[in-house]
Structures are given as C-alpha cells and as structure tokens.
Amino acid sequence: MKTIADLLHEHPFFRGLAESDLQFLASCGENCVYHKGDYLARENSQANHFFLIRSGRVAVETFVPHRGPLCLLTLRGGDIFGWSWLFPPYISAFDARALEDVRSLRLGGECLRNKCEQEPKLGFELMKRFARIATERLQSARIQLLDIYGPDHQGHTA
Amino acid sequence: MDYRLQASDLECLIQAIRNKGYLLYGPTLIDGAITYGEIHSVSNLPQGWTDDQQAGQYRVMRRGDKAYFGYAVGPHSWKKYLQLPRRPVWKVAKQNQAIEIIEVQETVPKQAFLGVRSCELHAIAIQDRILSQGDYRNESYRQRRAQLFTVALNCTSAADTCFCTSMNTGPEVTLPSDLTMTEMIEGREHFFVISGGSEAGTKIMEKLPLRPISEGERKLAKERVERLAEEMRRGPRHFDSSDLKELLYRNLDSSNWEKVADRCLSCANCTMACPTCFCSTVEDTTDLSGEHAERWERWDSCFTADLSHISGGSVRADTRSRYRQWMTHKLASWHDQFDSSGCVGCGRCITWCPVGIDLTEEVRTIRALDQKQVRNQEKP
Amino acid sequence: MIPTVYRVSERSVEYPGTFTLKLEAENPEPDKLPMRFAPGQFNMLYAFGVGESAISFSGLGSDDGNLIHTIRAQGNVTRALERLKAGESLGVRGPFGIGWPLHATVGREVLIIAGGLGLAPLRPVIYAGLLGHLAAIRVRLFYGARRPSELLYREELAQWGQQLNLEISVDHGDGTWPGHIGVITDPLQAAQIDGANSVAFLCGPEIMMRFCIQVLLRKGVPASSIYLSMERNMKCAIGLCGHCQWGPNFICKDGPVFCYEDIRPWLQIRSL
C-alpha cells in the first residue's frame, strides 16, 4: 500500500522535493477517483482543492448558452488542475470534468495555504512551480487565441 | 595590341559589325535621354551631347566638342536585350479534358552592343552567373548571351551619380570584351584607341582602317582613365564597400529603414533601371474560346506587394521591408548567393529615383548609425 | 522548362476546401523513368490558363509514377486545381528543392511535428518510417490542427496511432474528441524526450513552428537537429525569378527544408 507521500513523490509536480517536505504536505492529501462525467470542480463554486491528476483525462470547460459545454483544454496524468484555492474568494473559474475514469490526488486548499505560511521556503518553491505551469497555460491560451491554422496563417506549401 | 581608329572612321566599325550579321545596339538620343537603341549608322549616335545626372535628375546638354561617347549611362541598361522585359514561355492547347503544352522556341538574333561601359560589362557578368551559369538556366538569356558581340568603352568622364570606383567595377574596362575602345579628343585630334579581346573582335578589326598607335597616345589614353578614377575616389559618392555585407546584415533592424520608407514611393524605378536586378514573374492567360492559354515571363520588382505574396498576405507588406530587401539583396545577400555584390555603381537607381534616394547616402547613414551604436556599446 | 501533362486519376476531399489529388502521367514515354522525389520536395502544379502553385509531395515515392498532392484551395490556382475532376489534365514541373534529411534519423528518435496542412509534406517521412526505411529508434508524430473535422488523412491517422507514437492536439473540440484539446506545444511539452538523441522535423504555420522550436530547445534538442520547412512565394522554382528570397536563401532551391541552426538569425528578422 502506497502512502500519500509516495503518491506525491510519483507526481511530476513534486519531482525533486525533499522527502521531509512531502511528508509535511502529505497530511493535506487524499486519494480519490472520479468516474467518467464526474466533476472535479464547478465554475463559480468553492475551490477547495488542488488536484494532481495521476491518470485519466480531464476537460477544463465553460458553458456557452445555446451551445453547451466548451472545452478549452484537456489535462491528463502528470498534469495539475486548480489554483483558485490560492486566492480569496476561493471560487473556481471553470468546470473540470472527468472524460474517463480519473485517478487523482487532491490536496486541501486551506491546509496547503497554512503549510505554505508555516514554511515560507517550501511555499516559495511551490509557488514557483505553480507560476511556471500558469505561464505555460497562459502561453498556450495565447497561441490558441492566434488561431494559427486559420486562414491568415494557413498556407504551407502543401 | 592597341591601334588607333580615326573618329571619322567610326562608321567603318559600325558597318563592319553590321555586315557580320549583327543587330547593332548603341547609345542614341530618344525622348530627351541618351538611351540604347538600334544603330544603323554613326549618325544615330548622340555626337556632341552629354548628360547631367543628379539624384532624381537627368537632362541632356550640348558639349563643346564632337565626342561620340561623352556622357555616362542612360535610363536603360543592356539588360533589356538579354533578359527580355517580356517574353512568351509556353503555349497550351486544351481539347476536351486533355491539354498540350508547347514550349515557345525563340529565334534569337545575333546582337552586338556598341559602347559598353565597364560597369555594364560587370553587370552582364553578374547576370550571366544568375541566369546562365547555375543548375537551371534562362534559355532565352543564355542563347542571346552566347551570340553577343561587345564593343566596350573605357570611361574618361563620369556623371555625378557614378560610383564604380566604390564597387571596383570601373572606370577602366578590365573584363573581356570582343573590342575595347577609349575615345580621345586632343586639340584637333579625335580618335579611338582600340584593341581586340577575342577572335571575333580581331576579325572585325581586320576590316578597319587602323593605324599603329604611338606610345605617347597609348599612355595618354590610360592616364585619362586613371585620372577619372582618382577624381571619383575623391568624390562625394565614393565609399568603402569591402564590409557592406557584414554592415547591412548587422543592421537589418536599423532605424534608417523607416526613414527611407518615408520617402520611397515603392515605384520600382530603381529595379527597372538597375542593370543586374533580375526578378521576374509570369502571367498566365487564356483566350476567349477558353481553348488556348499562354504563359509570358516579364520583369518583376521586389517593390511590388505581389512579389512576396503568400496565402494570408504579402510577407513584405510595407515599403520599409521592401526597400530593405532591395538594398540588402543588392549589397549584401548577393555575395552569399552569387559570390559578388549585385551593385556595379552605375548610379541609375540614384538618377531615376523620382524622390532622389541615393544608395550611397543610405550606406553612409547606416554606417554612421552603426558606428554610433558600436561606440555606445563600448562605453562602460 | 515546360510542365509534363498529368491526369487526375483520383480526387478526394480531406475536409471542405482541402483535397488530395492522385495524378498519373498522361502520355508516359516508355523509355522515360517515372518521377522520383525525396520527401519534402515539391512540384509546381499548373492549372490551365490560371498559373502554377508549389505543392509538396504527400505520397509514397513508389515506382508506379503516380503522384499524390494534398492542396488547400486558397488562391486562384489552387481553387482551379480544386475544380479539376477525375480524368482532367494539369501540368506538373518538378521535383524541386531540398527535402527532409532522412540520413539524420539514423539511430535517433524522430519527432515529426506537423501543424494543419503541414502534415502533407511530412507524410512521405511517416511512410518511410512505417516501411522501416529509416534506421531510427522510434518515430513519434505530434500533429496539431484547428479542430477534429480539419484533420488530414483521418483513416490513416487511426492506423498510424497503432503503429507509431501519435499525439494529436486540436485547438477546439468537444467531449467526443478523444485526444488533446489545447495547443500542439502542450503534448510536446509533456512528452519525455531524450533531446540529445532526437531529430525533429517541423512543418506548419510559421508561428506554430517558432513556439514548438522553443519547447524543443528547452528539452535539449540541439538546434542542429531541428529541421523545418519554410514557405515563401514561388514562381519559377529554380532560383531564377527572385520571388522566394529569404535573406541569402532561395526557399525553392536552398530549401524548403532548412536546418534551424543555419537559419536561426533569419527567423528573428521580421518581414524579411
């Protein structure tokens, strides 16, 4: 039987963190499974958790009237979801829906905030990791916005 | 071996060339400019005329003497006789679903050029490397060039816009030519120093009433050309061209391109007047029956939006990028592509620019900005 | 240089406005060898009376002399090519240009990164990989497109998914799409890549290639192992007309495939 600390250790987000830090964070974590169609988070609802996706696909969605759910991004094993728990008012901006059975490890937002306040050094390390991923997501969103395969950029010699 | 041809015997040279079956082209006064046209006799030459050339200005004037070649280059170069401004490439016939494509076979005339300046011989040599010496060739150009007979002319005077000394392309003829001449007017003496550079040239010389030349006359002719070269080197348009490629490659984002673009009309005159600009495009058309199509090739210019058009738009959408392309191609990337500069210093782009943009001045400006930048970087 | 007449033997629509033509020589001369090409090279396809367009080879370099070209209708010429029906004729000049350096794949992991129509010039490389013509350790395909309905070669993609490592990313998709939604750089970023032992071939919109190159460099793929196919206006395809100049390069004869290390400075210059 793997402990929460073991599972944290396996996830790329925590790669390279000291064993003692993982042990320190483990008490915030719980192992959970979402079935296809379950929501990990709902838009405009309390953002109580930080999710580490271990396996399975998750869609980050919003609902467009007359059109239905619009998927902005899919996530999979190795990815993370959610940083709304970091800042007041701790409200999710998007839906996160399991597209298939999802094994996840979720860490309580409040618990994680308290740990980071207690250990600012670890807190800063985690913050850097969040910031890097947030930057990547922002870049991706910008590229998506460019519509690079659209008529203005189409056009390879083919 | 140098000989002396009396100016009064120039007609003999013209007729000797024509009698060999050549279509002879040379300078002639058309529409108030000394331009190249067909020469039937010596009377077609602009004897006693000269030109005054400045940035964006050109006019012909009377000379005080009877010189036949007392001017610099005109609006057109010899390019128009070798890389035709417009030529048919292929014809296509369509019947039901089938098409047949037939290459247009051109009857290429034997052409001779009279009065080719050193810069222009260099320009022809540059076009040779592009159009007839690579893996693929422009057949029309190659055939015209293969049969070409040239009478080159050493320059003893230059226009203010000339800068061949900067590009090491003149004023003395150094490239091979069938015949090479220097026109001399010494008091009442008017003659040409003439020498052969090929078998075809020697054969023409055999037909001429030549006289031996004195050592003094030969020396004098050489001095005239050297004196001009010295004057030009002291002139305002002379510059060091040895590092132009590096200079321009490092300044592709120079603020000066914006400044040129403010004046440049993107009219393409410089590219049409330039003796080395070789860009071309094709036009495909059909007749009204829809059964016959043709393809024509014609000169194109990097100043058009169409030249760099890809799906989604023109890559060089503004004048800044087009002028930069023209100048950096001519003076820099040409070295990488064809092992020489694409500029021969003939000055046509300066004279025929409607707003008087002067390439030599732009080089100086970019160099000054470049040096300022280098100095700023060196400051601690 | 005049085109050879070919006939459309098959025509299929990939998705509206994008189609694939199979061409066969109209009057094959018995002593003339069928056209041979290298993956990444291109032909000039001539539509009667309208003009020519540069189109990459998308088929197998097989000996039967058939040519496969995938075309997006976006200009006069390609729209005229779109109107061609099976049995109708067109002109073909080629092959031209320098293609993908297949020799660089020996003993390496090959990362094929295609965006939109950019998959078309890379398909011959994929075929070479599937047929075992590349002495590569592994072939991986990262393919980005706007939406699932705008994917090329959909039936083949399903097969390739079984035969090689395939990651498809679409910018927009719904819940029924089984692959990634986001951008092509995401799966590339997520992939475990042994940078030093990889060689990457990229073709797609210039912006997409620029972003993917940044990811590849971060993953330790050397600039000398990244190859990309560039696009410029091509008229003559033989370096004479001047249209496709890009800095010192003529895309038609020095490319269209370039090594990133060689062209890096030129990619930085805008509107070149």
From chain B, the residues in CB contact with A154 under 8 A are: 311-312
User: What Rg, from alpha-carbon coordinates, does chain A have?
Assistant: 17
The reply to whether A155 falls in a domain is no
Do C20 and C134 belong to one domain?
no
User: Which residue from A104, A100, A95 is spatially nearest to A53, judged by alpha carbons?
Assistant: A104
- Per-position b or e across C176-202, b if 16+ CB within 10 A of its CB: ebebbbbbbbbbbbbeebebeebbbbb
Q: Is B311 on the interface with A (CB under 8 A)?
A: yes
The reply to whether A135 falls in a domain is yes
DSSP A4-46: HHHHHHHSGGGTT--HHHHHHHHTTEEEEEE-TT-EEE-TTSB
Q: State which of B234, B259, B277 marks the end of a domain.
A: B234
The reply to whether B239 falls in a domain is no
Helix %, strand %, coil % for chain A, to 5?
35, 30, 35
Contact B238, B353 (CB under 8 A): no
Determine the residue among C171, C184, C203 to mutate to test chain A binding: the one whose Cβ has the most chain A Cβ atoms within 10 Å. Answer: C171
From chain A, the residues in CB contact with B310 under 8 A are: 155
Q: Give the pLDDT score at C62.
A: 65
**Alpha carbon of residue C30 to chain centroid:** 31
Distance from CA of A76 to the nearest CA of C (A): 9
Do C61 and C178 belong to one domain?
no
Do C17 and C80 belong to one domain?
yes
Closest chain B residue to the Cα of C250, Cα to Cα: B337
Q: State which of B205, B234, B263 marks the end of a domain.
A: B234
Give pLDDT tens digits for A7-25: 999 999 999 999 999 999 9
Q: Which domain holds residue B174?
A: 2-234
Tell me the CATH number at A30: 2.60.120.10
Residue C134 CA to residue C203 CA, distance in Å, equals: 19
Q: Give the pLDDT score at A153.
A: 54
CB-count burial class (<10 Å; 0-12, 13-18, 19+) for B120: buried
The C residues from 73 to 112 touching B (CB cutoff 8 Å) are: 74-75, 87-91
From chain B, the residues in CB contact with A153 under 8 A are: 312
User: Which residue from B351, B363, B326 is spatially nearest to B241, judged by alpha carbons?
Assistant: B363
Q: Which domain holds residue A18?
A: 4-146
Q: Give the pLDDT score at C60.
A: 84
From chain C, the residues in CB contact with A148 under 8 A are: 115-116, 171, 204-205, 207-208
Tell me the CATH number at C29: 2.40.30.10
Question: Residue B37 CB: number of other CB atoms within 10 A?
Answer: 14
From chain B, the residues in CB contact with C240 under 8 A are: 130-131, 134, 136-138, 278, 280
The reply to whether B67 falls in a domain is yes
- Give the phi and the psi of residue A97 in degrees, each rounded to 5: -125, 135
Distance from CA of C103 to the nearest CA of B (A): 24
User: Which residue from B81, B82, B85, B71 is spatially nearest to B27, judged by alpha carbons?
Assistant: B71
Handedness of CA C26, C239, C270, B307 (dihedral sign): negative
Q: Is the pLDDT of residue A151 over 70?
A: no
Any idea which residue has 């016939």 for tokens?
Answer: B93
The reply to whether A156 falls in a domain is no
Q: Give the pLDDT score at A155.
A: 46
Do B196 and B249 belong to one domain?
no
Do B216 and B100 belong to one domain?
yes
Closest chain A residue to the Cα of B310, Cα to Cα: A155
Give pLDDT tens digits for B103-142: 999 899 999 999 999 999 999 999 999 999 988 999 999 9
The reply to whether B287 falls in a domain is yes
Contact B237, B162 (CB under 8 A): yes
Do B31 and B97 belong to one domain?
yes
Do C12 and C72 belong to one domain?
yes
Do C162 and C215 belong to one domain?
yes
- Distances in Å between the Cα of A95 and the Cα atoms of A13, A53, A70, A104, A140 are 21, 15, 10, 16, 18
Q: Give the pLDDT score at C225.
A: 98
Q: Is the pLDDT of residue B378 over 90?
A: no
Do B176 and B284 belong to one domain?
no
* CA angle (B96 as vertex; B95, B99 as ends), nearest 5: 50
Determine the residue among C147, C181, C192, C213 to mutate to test chain A binding: the one whose Cβ has the most chain A Cβ atoms within 10 Å. Answer: C181
Q: Is B333 on the interface with C (CB under 8 A)?
A: yes
Q: ω into residue C30 within 30 of 0, thus cis?
A: no
Mean pLDDT of the region A99-121: 95
Give pLDDT tens digits for C240-272: 999 999 999 999 999 999 999 999 999 988 889
- Distances in Å between the Cα of B25 and the Cα atoms of B58, B69, B116, B148, B171 are 22, 14, 10, 11, 21
Do C114 and C220 belong to one domain?
yes
Confidence tier at A158 by pLDDT (50, 70, 90): very low
User: What Rg, from alpha-carbon coordinates, does chain C have?
Assistant: 18
Residue B179 CA to residue B12 CA, distance in Å, equals: 14
Q: Between β-strands B57-62 and B49-54, what pairing exists: parallel, antiparallel or unpaired?
A: antiparallel
A/B interface, count of CB pairs below 8 Å: 10
CB-based contact A154 B310, cutoff 8 Å:
no
Residues near C245 by beta carbon (within 8 Å), at least 6 away in sequence: B302, B325, B329, B333, C232, C251
Do B203 and B262 belong to one domain?
no
Contact C59, C24 (CB under 8 A): no
Contacts of residues A84-89 at CB distance under 8 Å and 24 or more positions apart, as own/partner, are A84/A41, A84/A47, A85/A47, A85/A48, A85/A49, A85/A50, A85/A109, A85/A110, A85/A112, A85/A113, A86/A113, A86/A130
Contact C197, C172 (CB under 8 A): no
Q: Which domain holds residue C181?
A: 102-229
Q: ω into residue A69 within 30 of 0, thus cis?
A: no
Question: What is the number of structural domains in chain C?
Answer: 2
pTM (predicted TM-score): 0.92
Q: Is A78 on the interface with C (CB under 8 A)?
A: yes
The B residues from 114 to 173 touching C (CB cutoff 8 Å) are: 130-131, 134-138
Do C151 and C221 belong to one domain?
yes
Distance from CA of C77 to the nearest CA of B (A): 10
- Give the phi and the psi of residue B101 in degrees, each rounded to 5: -110, 125
Per-residue pLDDT of chain C (272 residues; tens, 9 = 90+): 899 999 999 999 999 999 999 999 887 676 777 788 999 999 999 999 999 999 999 998 666 778 999 999 989 999 999 999 999 999 999 999 999 999 999 999 999 999 999 999 999 999 999 998 888 889 999 999 999 999 999 999 999 999 999 999 999 988 788 899 999 999 999 999 999 999 999 999 999 999 999 999 999 999 999 999 998 888 999 999 999 999 999 999 999 999 999 999 999 888 89
Do C65 and C161 belong to one domain?
no
User: Which residue from A126, A116, A155, A149 is spatially nearest to A52, judged by alpha carbons?
Assistant: A126
Do C210 and C116 belong to one domain?
yes
Do B207 and B135 belong to one domain?
yes
In the numeric block, which tokens belong to residue B287?
């007749």
Distance from CA of C244 to the nearest CA of A (A): 12
The B residues from 83 to 102 touching C (CB cutoff 8 Å) are: 89-90, 92, 94, 97-102
CB-count burial class (<10 Å; 0-12, 13-18, 19+) for A8: buried
Do C166 and C181 belong to one domain?
yes
Q: Is B313 on the interface with A (CB under 8 A)?
A: yes
Closest chain C residue to the Cα of B287, Cα to Cα: C49
Do C68 and C125 belong to one domain?
no
Mean pLDDT of the region B87-103: 93
Contact C263, C227 (CB under 8 A): no
- Give the phi and the psi of residue A59 in degrees, each rounded to 5: -100, 130
Do B195 and B316 belong to one domain?
no
Q: State which of C73, C96, C119 marks the end of a domain.
A: C96
Quote the DSSP letter at residue C3: P
User: Which residue from A125, A129, A116, A128 is spatially nearest to A24, judged by alpha carbons?
Assistant: A116
Do B194 and B312 belong to one domain?
no
Q: Is the pLDDT of residue A156 over 70?
A: no
CB-based contact B313 A152, cutoff 8 Å:
yes
Do B252 and B144 belong to one domain?
no
Residue B373 CA to residue B377 CA, distance in Å, equals: 6
Do C112 and C223 belong to one domain?
yes
Helices B256-263 and B319-328: angle between axes, nearest 10 degrees: 110
Do B84 and B146 belong to one domain?
yes
The reply to whether A116 falls in a domain is yes
Q: State which of C96, C115, C132 marks the end of a domain.
A: C96
Do B295 and B331 belong to one domain?
yes
Helix (H, G, I), strand (E, B) or coil at B294: strand
**Alpha carbon of residue C34 to chain centroid:** 21
Question: What is the number of structural domains in chain B?
Answer: 2
Q: Is the pLDDT of residue B153 over 80?
A: yes
Tell me the CATH number at C125: 3.40.50.80
In the numeric block, which tokens belong to residue B211?
């006289």
Residue B336 CA to residue B358 CA, distance in Å, equals: 24
Give pLDDT tens digits for B292-323: 999 999 999 999 988 888 877 888 989 999 99
At C213, the amino acid letter reads I
- Between B49 and B380, where is the model more confident? B49
Closest chain A residue to the Cα of C115, Cα to Cα: A149
Residue A154 CA to residue A150 CA, distance in Å, equals: 6
User: Which residue from B86, B110, B120 is spatially nearest to B23, judged by alpha carbons?
Assistant: B110
Q: State which of B210, B234, B258 marks the end of a domain.
A: B234
Question: What is the number of structural domains in chain A?
Answer: 1
Give pLDDT tens digits for B166-218: 999 999 999 999 999 999 999 899 999 999 999 999 999 999 999 999 999 99
Mean of per-residue pLDDT scores for chain B: 95
Do B58 and B167 belong to one domain?
yes
DSSP B40-105: SSGGGS-TTEEEEEETTEEEEEE-SS--SS-S---S--THHHHS-SEEEEEEEEEETTEEEEEEPP
- Distances in Å between the Cα of C148 and the Cα atoms of A72, C116, C168 are 14, 11, 9
Contact C242, B333 (CB under 8 A): no
